[in-house]
């Protein structure tokens, strides 16, 4: 079978989508190696998990701190890669410019070019956003095939003149026993402190205990300002079911100032929670909110409205989640098979 390489600009510790796809491809008999950037210098340089390999790169002698250093070191990570494989899967458009001459699948998880504007609107942030959009358009043209995580992103890709397949971050249902205690959870990348603050403050109104897990730029500040919350640190894909089993509601709300939210982002947290029988609370009047309501996966509330979010938590706590759609494994496998034939 084929040698497949995957590139991601985080530490893959974990990256549920990337690792899920890697596991599916290993199950099909392929050899899979993930190239990841450990900006925080926290994780093993080499790791074997579920049949696939993770090779992590550290840039410099200390962790990347600050927007400019992260941007510069991300470029260094990409430029240092020397990949030999039958197929390369680039995860998000910020992995563009990898030196590779073979067939490429571009997996657009998110609108990466909107990320700099989440951190500010300075000349530097706007320049970085424009540069990333230019790179995104270039790599879309170069790619043999594009897949994406959400129908809304597929619409954007189509507007740029390209075909794509949607491979959503769904997993097959494996319901866990419900719990009576009111517990709200957030498990994933902790990038936005304001979202964490809103969750914690709303949970106080609603009478919920809080459990968080994951790493990210805002994790340290969250722990410093809210030392009383139950923070578990980074977690693996294998630990996720047990974490979800400890909560009654998943928090999956994000600032609508993030460009990807209104363009169609669907939070993996919501889909993961539903697969294990847990409802979520998500942003109202957004594509994710529409999907949540249509598929009865939880409750929606306006971002920044603590009272409404607290009411939503209480309402979600009493919900039962049934008839969850399964994963999109066959879509990904067919895309890969077609390119390798």
Q: Which CATH number fits domain 183-317: 3.30.43.10, 3.90.1200.10, 3.20.20.60, 3.40.50.2000?
A: 3.40.50.2000
Domain ranges of the chain: 3-170+329-340, 183-317
Q: Is the peptide bond before 14 cis (omega within 30 degrees of 0)?
A: yes
Q: What is the pLDDT of residue 333?
A: 98
Query: Using an 8 Å Cβ cutoff, are 258 and 118 in contact?
Result: yes
Sheet holding 183-187, edge to edge: 230-231, 209-213, 183-187, 249-252, 280-283, 298-301
pLDDT of residue 66 exceeding 80, the answer is no
Please give the model's pTM, rounded to 2 decimal places. Answer: 0.89
The values of phi and psi at residue 62, to 5°, are -145, 165
CATH number 3.20.20.60 given to 3-170+329-340: no
The radius of gyration computed from the CA coordinates of the chain, to the nearest angstrom, equals 19
Q: What is the pLDDT of residue 170?
A: 97
Q: What is the pLDDT of residue 110?
A: 85
Q: Check if 3-170+329-340 and 183-317 are the same fold.
A: yes
Please tell me the distance from the alpha carbon of residue 19 to that of residue 53, in angstroms, as a whole number: 10
pLDDT of residue 101 exceeding 80, the answer is yes
| Mean pLDDT (the chain, rounded) | 94
CB atoms within 10 A of CB 282: 31
Q: What is the pLDDT of residue 111?
A: 84
Please tell me the distance from the alpha carbon of residue 45 to that of residue 24, in angstroms, as a whole number: 23
| Chain segment 29-53, per-residue pLDDT in tens | 999 999 999 999 989 999 999 999 9
pLDDT of residue 15 exceeding 80, the answer is yes
Q: What is the pLDDT of residue 125?
A: 84
Q: What is the pLDDT of residue 210?
A: 99
| Chain segment 261-286, per-residue pLDDT in tens | 988 999 999 999 999 999 999 999 99
Lowest-pLDDT choice from 163-177, 246-260, 287-301: 246-260
| Chain segment 178-205, per-residue pLDDT in tens | 999 999 999 998 989 999 999 999 999 9
């Amino acid at each position: 079978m084929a040698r497949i390489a995957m590139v991601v600009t985080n530490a893959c510790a974990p990256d549920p989508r990337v690792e899920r796809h890697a596991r599916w491809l290993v199950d099909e008999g392929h050899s899979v190696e993930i190239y990841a950037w450990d900006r925080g210098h926290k994780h093993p340089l080499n790791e074997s998990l579920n049949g696939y390999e993770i090779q992590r790169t550290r840039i410099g002698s200390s962790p990347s701190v600050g927007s400019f250093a992260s941007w510069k070191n991300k470029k260094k990570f990409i430029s240092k890669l020397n990949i030999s494989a039958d197929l390369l899967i680039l995860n998000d458009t910020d992995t563009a410019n990898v030196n590779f001459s073979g067939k490429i699948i571009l997996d657009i998880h998110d609108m990466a070019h909107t990320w700099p504007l989440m951190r500010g609107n300075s000349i530097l942030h706007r320049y970085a956003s424009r540069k990333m959009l230019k790179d995104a358009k270039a790599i879309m043209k170069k790619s043999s095939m594009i897949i994406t995580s959400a129908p809304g992103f597929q619409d954007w890709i189509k507007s740029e003149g390209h075909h794509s397949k949607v491979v959503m971050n769904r997993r097959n249902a494996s319901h866990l026993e419900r719990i009576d205690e009111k517990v709200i959870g957030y498990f994933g990348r902790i990038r936005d402190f304001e979202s964490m603050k809103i969750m914690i403050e709303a949970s106080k109104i609603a009478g919920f205990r809080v459990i968080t897990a994951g790493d990210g730029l805002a994790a340290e500040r969250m722990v410093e300002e809210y030392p009383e919350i139950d923070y578990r640190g980074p977690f693996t894909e294998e630990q996720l079911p047990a974490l979800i089993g400890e909560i009654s509601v998943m928090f999956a709300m994000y600032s609508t100032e993030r460009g990807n939210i209104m363009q169609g982002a669907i939070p993996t947290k919501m889909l993961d929670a539903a697969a294990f029988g847990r409802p979520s609370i998500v942003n109202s009047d957004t594509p994710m909110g529409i999907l949540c309501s249509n598929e009865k996966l939880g409750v929606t509330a306006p971002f920044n409205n603590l009272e409404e979010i607290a009411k939503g938590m209480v309402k979600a706590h009493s919900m039962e989640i049934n008839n969850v759609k399964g994963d999109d494994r066959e879509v990904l496998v067919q895309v890969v098979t077609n390119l390798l034939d």
